[in-house]
Chains A and B, each alone.
Chain A
């Protein structure tokens, strides 16, 4: 019998009426036990009236749609995402190095991007860091942002935003970086096209470095499909 179904509601209504009738019938009867039987009858009717009203309100508002819900059982547990170490984490000898992922040739850059790591990258193996992606003109120096993994690359005339779409996955494979909130720095159409090609919220064009998200441990997540866990 469901908590919000009509059968349960009908049952409590019927029980209330029956208890009321029984209390009225027994009111002048009962002999010496009359105070006790009367008190029990009144209490029973009161409890049933409140129960019926509660069930009716809950049926209408659906606060607790099931017995499970009434018990506080959500059937779901939030679990921490698995934080995967970057493939370069153990092999890095410097906090600034040229980055040569397999996808590099497809990006048609002037050379390998320069990666500059935050000072505490190695000291905090349990967090992912925000990313600053800098697209520079030839001859400009590679940037460094103290709180973020900074990737400086120099595109050529044949570099496209479509080709660079593989960069976030490649960087996520090699280093512990945030999956959203990247800061993309640069002038001209390419940085804007890169931001536009990514999902909304993934990257912001030329935001102040103070607006970068914090370096964080893997978050607790709930399923997006509502299946019990």
Chain B
């Protein structure tokens, strides 16, 4: 609706400017010009928002089920006592979760910036992709969590604990796992937990897995970066919150990383190759390169199924 309204407003205000110009004086003409400019700015803002899903415009159903016995996508709110943050989260429950018992492996899937988890749900069609891979037997039934990493929509946290700011790292690595363990039948051991993400979320997946190898066994990066590109406030963007620095200067943990990028996505390709070159035992790495597509949803749609397949092969299986 907002798209139609804002796009219709552009020719309407242009016509108003054209028709009204000779009927009003300076103040009126200025108002017409401002109105025309505002309509263009509004139309552009709505389209940029559609692209990034930073401020979702349509309400999302609390529960999206793929058939009565299929998978479910739940919408929950995680109130995190450790971080003090309270944010929404989407939870994918595989069909096997609804039909039987047991405890399932978990993947935390992180979104880019600006953005929200709705990009996973809408642009990347993640529920269909997970259903398809599970039905084909290429991934074991897995609970996938889609938390927010932006307490304020236009505050880029890169999933770090900002100095004197939101404690997003604590939210994602303490509060979200605790919520999942309390509310869902999930495995709580490290071998069954993995991370993934696209763009800034891919940086998050790499950085959090390197920082918390006692919690995550594997991580898959879809067009990620070697550095956070923000000021964390304590200088750690150059050291402990900088995967390139960590791989060079700290002992590498015994985890597995999947690094995917598009060959024409210059910054991510450069950073991912740089990380891959630094990796050595006991850290294991796998690389995957899409021929072209830049830094876009088309690339991530191409990558998500291979990344989830790889993650499932590197995580522990569901337990009865």
Alpha-carbon distance A63/B18, docked complex (angstroms): 36
Mask for B262-274, Cβ within 8 A of A = 1, else 0?
A: 1111110000000
Pairwise interchain contact B306-A221, C-beta atoms closer than 8 A: yes
Pairwise interchain contact B138-A216, C-beta atoms closer than 8 A: yes
Size bracket of the B interface: 35 or more
Mask for B232-247, Cβ within 8 A of A = 1, else 0?
A: 0000000000000000
Q: How far is the CB of B214 from chain A (nearest CB, A)?
A: 14
Pairwise interchain contact A35-B19, C-beta atoms closer than 8 A: yes
Q: How far is the CB of A194 from chain B (nearest CB, A)?
A: 14
Known: A207-B191, A214-B318. A219 touches B310 (CB 8 A): yes
Pairwise interchain contact B292-A73, C-beta atoms closer than 8 A: yes
Closest to A30 in B: B18
Closest to A58 in B: B294
Interface size on A, residues (CB 8 A): 59
Pairwise interchain contact B288-A69, C-beta atoms closer than 8 A: no
Pairwise interchain contact B267-A228, C-beta atoms closer than 8 A: no
Closest to B316 in A: A211
Alpha-carbon distance A213/B299, docked complex (angstroms): 27
Say if the beta carbon of B61 comes within 8 Å of chain A.
no
Alpha-carbon distance A63/B283, docked complex (angstroms): 30
Alpha-carbon distance A74/B316, docked complex (angstroms): 32
Closest to A68 in B: B292
Say if the beta carbon of B36 comes within 8 Å of chain A.
yes
Pairwise interchain contact B140-A216, C-beta atoms closer than 8 A: yes
- Determine the chain A residues whose CB is within 8 A of the CB of B138 once the complex forms: 80, 216-220
- Determine the chain B residues whose CB is within 8 A of the CB of A219 once the complex forms: 138, 306, 309-310, 313
Which residue of A50, A65, A227 has the most chain B CB atoms within 10 A of its CB atom?
A65
Say if the beta carbon of A210 comes within 8 Å of chain B.
yes
B294 partner, pick from A36, A69, A229, beta carbons under 8 A: A69
Say if the beta carbon of B251 comes within 8 Å of chain A.
no
Say if the beta carbon of A222 comes within 8 Å of chain B.
yes
- Determine the chain A residues whose CB is within 8 A of the CB of B319 once the complex forms: 210
- The interface-forming segment of A39-47, A105-113, A159-167 is A39-47
Pairwise interchain contact B10-A64, C-beta atoms closer than 8 A: no
Say if the beta carbon of B107 comes within 8 Å of chain A.
no
B15 partner, pick from A35, A211, A226, beta carbons under 8 A: A35
Mask for B150-161, Cβ within 8 A of A = 1, else 0?
A: 000000000000
Known: A35-B18, A220-B305, A222-B306. A127 touches B137 (CB 8 A): yes
A213 partner, pick from B283, B291, B313, beta carbons under 8 A: B313
**Which residues 281-320 of B have a CB within 8 angstroms of A?**
281-284, 286-299, 302-303, 305-306, 309-310, 312-319
- Determine the chain B residues whose CB is within 8 A of the CB of A126 once the complex forms: 137
Pairwise interchain contact A180-B313, C-beta atoms closer than 8 A: yes
Q: How far is the CB of A4 from chain B (nearest CB, A)?
A: 9
- Determine the chain A residues whose CB is within 8 A of the CB of B316 once the complex forms: 210-213
Mask for A116-149, Cβ within 8 A of B = 1, else 0?
A: 0000000000110000000000000000000100
Say if the beta carbon of A169 comes within 8 Å of chain B.
no
Say if the beta carbon of A201 comes within 8 Å of chain B.
yes
Pairwise interchain contact B298-A74, C-beta atoms closer than 8 A: yes
- Determine the chain A residues whose CB is within 8 A of the CB of B282 once the complex forms: 200
Chain B residues touching A, majority SS: mixed
Q: How far is the CB of B247 from chain A (nearest CB, A)?
A: 13
A73 partner, pick from B19, B287, B298, beta carbons under 8 A: B298
A201 partner, pick from B288, B303, B314, B315, beta carbons under 8 A: B314
Closest to B252 in A: A200
Say if the beta carbon of A12 comes within 8 Å of chain B.
no
Alpha-carbon distance A165/B290, docked complex (angstroms): 33
Say if the beta carbon of A224 comes within 8 Å of chain B.
yes
Say if the beta carbon of A178 comes within 8 Å of chain B.
yes
Closest to B255 in A: A201
Say if the beta carbon of A75 comes within 8 Å of chain B.
yes
Q: How far is the CB of B265 from chain A (nearest CB, A)?
A: 7
Say if the beta carbon of B278 comes within 8 Å of chain A.
no
Closest to B21 in A: A38
Pairwise interchain contact A216-B19, C-beta atoms closer than 8 A: no
Pairwise interchain contact A213-B302, C-beta atoms closer than 8 A: no
Pairwise interchain contact B302-A43, C-beta atoms closer than 8 A: no
CB<8 Å pairs between A and B, sample of 15? A35-B19, A46-B10, A62-B294, A66-B294, A72-B293, A126-B137, A181-B313, A207-B191, A211-B316, A216-B137, A216-B309, A216-B313, A217-B137, A223-B288, A227-B291
The 5 closest A-B pairs by CB, nearest first: A201-B284, A38-B18, A226-B289, A214-B317, A219-B309
Which B residues contact A (CB, under 8 angstroms)? 10-11, 14-15, 17-19, 21, 36, 40, 44, 133, 136-140, 189, 191-192, 254, 256, 260, 262-267, 280-284, 286-299, 302-303, 305-306, 309-310, 312-319
A-B contacts besides A75-B292, A200-B284, 19 pairs, CB < 8 Å: A42-B14, A50-B40, A63-B295, A66-B294, A69-B264, A76-B293, A78-B302, A80-B138, A180-B314, A212-B316, A214-B318, A215-B317, A219-B310, A220-B305, A220-B309, A222-B303, A224-B287, A224-B288, A228-B291
